[in-house]
Amino acid sequence: MTNLAARYTRILLWLLVTVCLQGAIAAEWDSYGGVGGQQYTELDQINADNLDNLEIAWMIRTGDLTQGFARKGHSFQTNPIYWNGALFFSTTSNWVLAVNARTGAELWRFDPGLPKEIGYSESASRGVSIWHGEAEVCPHRLFVGTLVGEVFALDAESGERCSDFADGGRADMSIGVGDVSIGNYGITSPPAVMGDQLIVGSAIGDNRAVELERGTVRALDSRTGAINWLWDPIPRSPNEVNYSSWENDSGRITGAANVWPPISVDVALNLVYVSTGSPSPDFYGGERLGDNHYANSLVALKGTTGEVSWSQQLVHHDTWDYDIPSQPTLTEIERNGQRIPAVAVVTKTGMLFAFNRLTGEPLYEITERPVPASDVPGERLSPTQPFSSIPALTDQSAITADDAFGVLWFDRRGCRRVINSSRSDGIYTPISLQGTIMNPSYAGGSNWGGVAIDSERQIAIANVNQIPAIVRLIPIEDVQGLIDRGEFDGDWELARQEGTPYVMARRIFLSSLGLPCTRPPWGKLVAVDLAAGAILWDVPFGTIRNIAPGIVPNFAWGVPNMGGPLVTRSGLIFIGAAAEHVVRIFDIETGEELWQRDLPAAPIATPMSYEVDGEQYIAIAAGGYDNLDLARADYLVSFKLLASDQ
């Protein structure tokens, strides 16, 4: 078969699978983010006309509030999946629970027994995956990754470990990735199921050193746990095609560039789509000069071999912790009168990029723009960075003294003082010895909540942050003196970056009252017209009632957010995500807020939707978030229409 014939055959297969999937979308939510990671449901029973009847159907507590861990943060980021009348999800301690989807009654639970005496760099567990196939045991099996690098295979009907998978139902993914620091190498997003394969990424603790664990992606046999193939984003030998973009043989020592967000697969095209992070360490690249290809990239891998089919690097030589944080979203985008199979991502830089799913060709023009040069000895940045022709979803401008914000005069004065002493040239301002204002910050822009896409309306929805950060490099010989003088009291995070001449210090740019030092909105909900490649609308997202001191009124200024939106066929956006104990519904066409309900904790997660006995439900985790100083909780909440007039 010629290459052209093979290409057309794959396109026809893709079209066939797309048509077949439309009927399944309505009732099933059987993978993270729904079909293709679209965070979209065909269910439309809940609509703008009956929201007065939308109430909590059930609410449960998992019992997981860190369970006596000595040094472990808390978050509850799970996106449950639905199968056979049950919801399946994971918790911050990597418990897996199955509950009755109609009532919330617990069916079973599994505890992997994470060690409690160690420190953890992460607290996230975004969910589980499900596989169906012929097997002597566990023909319906769930997979969950843990914060110490394990993958467990569980019987979906009982919660028991599947004895024929790897070592009694447990595969150790920390083997073969270099020297592992326990608690710093884990799996925070659910593995992706592709036929009879399981595609597994990893989360790696940042900024510890140049030589960290490798960000290897592996494909496991879903029945046996055997490794079918592996792919390392960093080149280890001169015969690899990306080797020349890593100067001085630096690929041999550098680690990370790992795939920590959820992974997407296209079975018909035999492609696996991964979003890669930055190489180690995040904020100084003098030990890894060059553009560092396949780091900070969207990469399409061949599902049968793990070979690179195509890639697009979205940040060159990253020194800002600008990982590509979101799941690649598989959809269709109309361009020049054609509907094109597409894959889209939103980034920490506040941009949306989209590509032809088969070829990697950009669907919106990408231009290389000049960016500032570094003045740090040993560093050499890329002279240009890629920018999407879609307008930025968040502010990327330089922060000046005129931008200083405070609710009281001394608050604003302190913010202005920091601005005047820091380097601020807008997006891609080099990290400096004096201190740099990052805008957007290392938290985004967009983050792991990703983007929800309604392919019929050709609208993409993303929640974004607009809060700068302060990052500074400090020569190692100067650090102790600065600490002794109290320069890094409060919310500063210091990291050694072993193997470099510098310690990294960073913090979100907040005032003495704990509010951002720049003008609101600090969080927005943004809609993109995909056909036009333009912003359709944006609105401030959230109020400050759960993050501001009591003396400050409850302004709707928009607030920091993590987690993502759900879009419904009926034109609703259902979203928690904001640093507030509230879920909201917006109109997808206008951005008008239509509905909100208080919850006992902030729902820092992405919702999902499912149908039982002809009734639509929407479920979301509400667990707070340590990184946003929000109260800890462990609720899973499900909503439905409680009145009869649906």
**Active site (annotated) includes residue 49:** no
Residue 37 to residue 48: CA distance in whole angstroms:
24
**Quick one: tokens of 399?**
């922060």
Closest CA to 315 of 369, 355, 358, 249: 369
3-state percent breakdown (helix, strand, coil) of the chain, nearest 5:
10, 35, 55
Residue 521, preceding bond cis, omega within 30 degrees? yes
51 by Cβ neighbours in 10 Å (0-12 / 13-18 / 19+) ranks as: middle
Half-sphere exposure of 498 (CA within 13 A, CB side): 6
Q: Residue 626 contacts by C-beta under 8 Å, 6 or more apart in sequence? A: 73, 74, 75, 123, 632
Q: Residue 361 contacts by C-beta under 8 Å, 6 or more apart in sequence? A: 355
Q: Cα torsion at 309, 313, 318, 322 (round to 10°)?
A: -100
Residues 291, 297, 302, 306: is their CA dihedral positive or negative?
Answer: positive
Residue 616 to residue 641: CA distance in whole angstroms:
8
Starting from the edge strand earliest in sequence, which strands make up the sheet with 534-540, in order? 451-454, 459-465, 523-529, 534-540
Q: Residue 487 contacts by C-beta under 8 Å, 6 or more apart in sequence? A: none
Residue 496 to residue 470: CA distance in whole angstroms:
17
Contact between 619 and 636 (Cβ < 8 Å): yes
Cβ atoms within 10 Å, residue 192: 25
364: left (phi over 0), alpha (psi -120 to 50) or beta: beta
**Quick one: tokens of 643?**
């009145």
Q: What is the DSSP secondary structure assignment for residue 184, as one 8-state letter? A: S
Catalytic residue among 321, 323, 403, 538: 321
Contact between 164 and 224 (Cβ < 8 Å): yes
**Quick one: tokens of 502?**
């510098």
Catalytic residues: 321
